[in-house]
């Protein structure tokens, strides 16, 4: 028996990944499909554009798109950064 071609193996792997994704997110059928967080790469339904705790001149830099967990981690980081800044200034 001959070995399967590399293309056949890639098709099989792609098919397995598609089936796994559909199985994993079957509960979302009929609703909004989950999106992928650009920060951590996880899928979820809470991927939104949110305002950061910054005041850059470029307004677009004050916003970040990500999941709730990544946003909370970023907010914690900026809260600590601002606390250190104000402690050194005052």
Rounded Cα–Cα distance for residues 32 and 12 (Å): 28
Check: CB of residue 28 under 8 Å from CB of residue 45. yes
Compute the half-sphere exposure of residue 79: CA atoms within 13 Å on the CB side of its CA.
6
The domain spans of the chain are 6-89
pLDDT of residue 51: 93
**Residue 52 contacts residue 79 (beta carbons within 8 Å):** no
What pLDDT score does 90 carry? 76
pLDDT in tens, 7-64: 777 877 777 777 776 666 665 555 567 789 999 999 888 899 999 988 899 999 999 9
Q: How many CB atoms lie within 10 A of CB 25?
A: 14
């Amino acid at each position: 028996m001959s070995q399967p071609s590399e293309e056949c193996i890639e098709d099989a792997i792609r098919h397995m990944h598609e089936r796994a994704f559909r199985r994993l997110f079957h509960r979302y059928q009929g609703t909004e499909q989950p999106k992928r967080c650009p920060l951590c790469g996880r899928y979820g339904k809470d991927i939104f554009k949110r305002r950061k705790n910054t005041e850059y001149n470029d307004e677009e830099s004050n916003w970040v798109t990500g999941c709730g967990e990544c946003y909370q981690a970023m907010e914690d980081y900026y809260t600590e950064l601002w606390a250190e800044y104000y402690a050194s200034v005052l």
